[in-house]
């Protein structure tokens, strides 16, 4: 199987390149191809891959609020360019989307067919991309995930560990609930979905749910740090982009492919071991 990965130098892309064995991989970073350019995208898949993994995106959620045009150029137009080029060479596609396409007002896990109602520019770009690429390639696999963390780039655990090394106390919001997702586990899911010929929408996260406060406290305790983690509310930490209060994704769509994912606590232990923090 021939696989092209857009976003191969990003947090998830690095995990995909490391975990994927037994197939022919072509990993492309932003220096290799600008997905906003139709010509560059087309030229990058002339070898006619069987699968295209679109993990490239502008993921700075707050940055998207102040760079709206750039966010839509990369996340919507770039996605359209990749999917259109893939369709021209009969390649299958997995597109990475986000829990931020939902409004966060539910109190039970979001299902794949719940209505899209993004509250941030980042969520709007991803929701718009979902709509557009389905028109081009109805068999596309849209993979929504959330709270992604891993070694090799900026992520929540990395931030908490860095701050905990210099502060005795940390205030972390306790009124936003979601599902942490380890890049290694997400990469393994993507590999299996390709091999199973996945299509349609799939929600994929580590199992279990928590608040950012719960997550931070587990990080600090697992790393055996002395920092005290204290709960606070979102209105005490106003940020440019609105975050959903509740964005837990239902595992039902993933279970249909007979895929079982470890808990986020288990994933955190492996992340800390990989990082050398245990």
Phi, psi dihedrals of residue 193, rounded to the nearest 5°: -65, -40
Residues whose CB falls within 8 Å of the CB of residue 243, separated by 6 or more in sequence, listed in order: 61, 100, 104, 119, 120, 176, 234
Query: What is the distance between the alpha carbons of residues 247 and 146, in angstroms, rounded to a whole number?
Result: 8
DSSP class of residue 30 equals T
The crossing angle, in degrees rounded to 10, of helices 264-275 and 212-222 is 50
**Does the active-site annotation cover 246?**
no
CA dist 133 and 140 (Å) reads 8
Per the CB < 8 A criterion, the answer to whether 31 and 37 are in contact is no
Q: Single out the catalytic residue among 58, 110, 122, 246.
A: 122
Q: Which residues are catalytic?
A: 122
């Amino acid at each position: 199987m021939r696989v092209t990965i857009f976003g191969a130098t990003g947090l998830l892309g690095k995990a995909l390149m490391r975990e994927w064995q037994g197939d022919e991989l072509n990993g492309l970073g932003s220096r290799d191809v600008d997905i906003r350019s139709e010509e560059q995208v087309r030229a990058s898949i002339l070898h006619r891959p069987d699968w295209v993994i679109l993990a490239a995106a502008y993921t700075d959620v707050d940055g998207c609020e102040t760079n709206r045009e750039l966010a839509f150029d990369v996340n919507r137009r770039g996605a359209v360019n990749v999917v259109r080029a893939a369709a021209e060479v009969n390649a299958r596609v997995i597109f990475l989307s986000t829990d931020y396409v939902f409004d966060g007002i539910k109190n039970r896990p979001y299902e794949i067919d719940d209505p899209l109602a993004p509250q941030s520019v980042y969520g709007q770009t991803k929701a718009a991309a979902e709509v557009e690429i389905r028109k081009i390639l109805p068999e596309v696999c849209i993979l929504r995930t959330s709270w992604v963390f891993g070694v090799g780039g900026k992520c929540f655990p990395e931030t908490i560990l860095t701050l905990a090394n210099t502060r005795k106390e940390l205030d972390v919001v306790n009124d936003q609930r979601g599902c942490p997702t380890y890049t290694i586990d997400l990469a393994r899911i993507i590999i299996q979905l390709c091999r199973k010929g996945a299509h349609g929408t799939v929600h994929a996260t580590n199992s279990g749910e928590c608040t950012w406060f719960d997550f931070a406290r587990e990080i600090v305790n697992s790393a055996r740090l002395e920092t005290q983690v204290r709960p606070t509310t979102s209105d005490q930490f106003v940020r440019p982009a609105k975050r959903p209060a509740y964005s837990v994704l239902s595992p039902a769509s993933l279970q249909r492919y007979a895929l079982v994912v470890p808990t986020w606590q288990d994933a955190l232990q492996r992340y800390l071991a990989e990082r050398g923090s245990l």
